[in-house]
Structure 1
Amino acid sequence: MSKYCFGIDVGGTTIKCALFLNDGTILDKWEIKTNTDNGGERILPDIADGIEAKLKEKKIDKAEVEGIGIGLPGPIEENGEIACAVNLHWGRKNIEKELNELTGMAVKAGNDANVAALGEMWRGGGKGAKNLIMATLGTGVGGGIIVNERIVTGAHGAGGEIGHALVNPHETIPCNCGNKGCLEQYASATGIARLAREALEASQKASVLREKERVTAKDVFDAYKEQDELAGEIVEKFARYLGHALAIFASVSDPDVIVIGGGVSKAGEVLVDCVQKQYEKFAFSACKKTPIKLAILGNDAGICGAAKLILSR
């Protein structure tokens, strides 16, 4: 019976790798550089080499390994193919097939945000849940939806792309995806900074934010914690957009818990309180008291979710 598995989280700069016991205990972690030269041709071979080296170092036989779970930036189809991963310089590629051929082990691939959601459900802020929505608020807005412990991937691998849900049909500025009025334009770190710039231009109110050369999302929440009135208006607007979107997704998937992660979540419980308040205004009655919690795994969410991905296949 297998005792081990590997969890791999592929980013545009580094690849996080971990060896797990099948109960979720991390035995070892390491990172390798993401080599995107020549169309990223070395990325999967480098991962395979790292795994082989770790097996040799730990004196583990492949027969003892359940397999390799891997999270990647881009929609992953059910057959293990990725249509495109811009940051990795990849076109269409069958991740599962290629990594299996390189390692001789079973492979299960998933979108990185979905995989992070699975990790938070297994070992993090959503531990104990079977149904979960995760919103990752960083430079953009990623997300993952888990129903009955399974990632919702959809027909094109785009399930859980909550950042590109339409929340403002009156928006005139396009999102990075090409559409207008996406949640990402208001709830990401860049979106919050944009809301702050607009508020500063539209209002004459005194604010510590006016002292900043370039206002960031962190500046907004720091000012909010100091009871800055204008910062409060910005945070309320952010929370209204996010709470409204989460209420819509909750009415579809009925989660046990909603988890918020990413750099913006470092604002802490004040962020959760604001979003929870707005969420409850919009949520369907049966979902109204669904708790919103902070992610707790940080950079380990991806590797944990990837490990769970192979264990749950």
Structure 2
Amino acid sequence: MKQGQFVTGVDIGGSHITAALIDINERKIVSSSLSRYSINAAGEVADVIETWSKCIAEAAKETGEEQVCLAMPGPFDYEQGISGIQGQAKYEKLFGLNVKDLLGASLKLPASAIYMDNDAACFLHGEVFAGNARNYHDTKVIGITLGTGLGSAVYDKGHAYSADLWDMPFRDRIAEDFLSTRWFLKRFEELTGQQVSGVKDIAAKVGESAIAQSVFDEFGRNLSAFLLEFIRRESPAAIVIGGNIAKAYELFKGELEPAIHDHDPSIKIHLSSLGEEASLLGAVGSWYAHIR
């Protein structure tokens, strides 16, 4: 492999890290380099950085790490590399720390070789570039990621940026309280008295439990209310939905799609076709646009 042609893209999630080499010329992931590690986001700083470093080094072993581009959840000072994540049940111990410096030291790279951007913006950038939204380069698209947190982004004529709506006032709290994994787990326990470990556990019960389906229906109503506000702000041509919760889209689309299309029948709703690869491609694409 030619050095300089490949850059390491990284997706930091609330329960995992994924990394891979990205071929800049072909704008594709080198599939043989794909590396994924589980992560304890409540762990000690040294353990988190060590796990991230191992995953990145494994992905880049054929070329070595020269430039690393990370899709990171927020809030975060992406330029300086300082975490502002607090009160989200993930990476709390990184709060206030310079993650670029910590990761650079672990990888034996200068902080300048560590590029970071918002994970939702990277996701949307990747989907417009190579995924289901690739026909919208010259228009406006909004994107959301649904998982341990709520990500939101806008793509407008070549540039993707975070909409930062996770803490938008919603119902009697903030949007993320109703549109994340923790809402599913809390709501299901409230209705059944049962504790489950993830959304997929609730999805598995839908065939045998009307309550399980009712939780997804309620989520669909919450999501449609949130998206309608997002749509009013941005007037997009399309919406892209990603994140682990989107894997259960069939269970909540019945409440979501009619509400969106009643508001504007022309808006297209697309599920992510690239999954985690969108964030990897988007992180590198964001860096490439930044240096040009």
Assess same fold via TM > 0.5. Answer: yes
The residue correspondences of 1:162-311 to structure 2 (distance < 5 A) are: 162-168=165-171, 171=172, 180=173, 182-196=174-188, 200=191, 213-214=194-195, 217-218=199-200, 233-281=214-262, 283=263, 285=264, 288-311=265-288
Q: What is the TM-score when the length of structure 2 is the normalising length?
A: 0.73
Picking from 157, 160, 163, the partner of 2:163 is 160
Question: CA RMSD, aligned part only?
Answer: 3.9
Alignment-mate amino acid for residue 74 of structure 2: G
Write the distance in 2 (CA, Å) between the matches of 1:124 and 1:87: 29
Q: Cα deviation per residue 1:51-83 (whole Å; 9 max; x = unaligned)?
A: 774315xxx9x6xxxx43212233343634324
Write the distance in 2 (CA, Å) between the matches of 1:218 and 1:40: 25
Write the distance in 1 (CA, Å) between the matches of 2:233 and 2:101: 30
Contact 1:265 1:271 in 2 (8 A): no
- Structure 2 CA distance for partners of 1:232 and 1:26, relative to 1, 3 Å: closer
- Structure 2 CA distance for partners of 1:51 and 1:253, relative to 1, 3 Å: same
- Residue in 2 aligned with 1:29? 34
Structure 1 residue 193 displacement after superposition: 4.2
- Residue in 2 aligned with 1:203? none
Structure 1 residue 295 displacement after superposition: 1.5
Q: What is the TM-score when the length of structure 1 is the normalising length?
A: 0.69
Identity level (%): 21
The residue correspondences of 1:67-216 to structure 2 (distance < 5 A) are: 67-77=67-77, 79-85=79-85, 87=91, 89-90=93-94, 91-93=96-98, 95=100, 99=104, 102=109, 107-130=114-137, 131-152=140-161, 159-168=162-171, 171=172, 180=173, 182-196=174-188, 200=191, 213-214=194-195
- Structure 2 CA distance for partners of 1:140 and 1:71, relative to 1, 3 Å: closer
SS in 1 for 2:258: helix
- Structure 2 CA distance for partners of 1:48 and 1:136, relative to 1, 3 Å: closer
Contact 2:68 2:113 in 1 (8 A): yes
Contact 1:243 1:278 in 2 (8 A): yes
- Residue in 1 aligned with 2:10? 8
- Structure 2 CA distance for partners of 1:8 and 1:41, relative to 1, 3 Å: closer
Structure 2 unmatched ranges of 5 or more: none
- Structure 2 CA distance for partners of 1:183 and 1:53, relative to 1, 3 Å: same
Contact 2:72 2:116 in 1 (8 A): yes
Contact 1:167 1:241 in 2 (8 A): no
- Structure 2 CA distance for partners of 1:38 and 1:239, relative to 1, 3 Å: closer
- Structure 2 CA distance for partners of 1:268 and 1:241, relative to 1, 3 Å: closer
- Structure 2 CA distance for partners of 1:186 and 1:245, relative to 1, 3 Å: same
Q: Cα deviation per residue 1:116-140 (whole Å; 9 max; x = unaligned)?
A: 2222222223223233222222233
Alignment-mate amino acid for residue 146 of structure 2: L
Structure 1 unmatched ranges of 5 or more: 153-158, 172-179, 201-209
Write the distance in 2 (CA, Å) between the matches of 1:124 and 1:102: 31
Contact 1:36 1:43 in 2 (8 A): no
- Residue in 2 aligned with 1:54? 62
Structure 1 residue 238 displacement after superposition: 2.2
Q: Cα deviation per residue 1:17-48 (whole Å; 9 max; x = unaligned)?
A: 21121232212222467695548665786677
Write the distance in 2 (CA, Å) between the matches of 1:143 and 1:249: 9
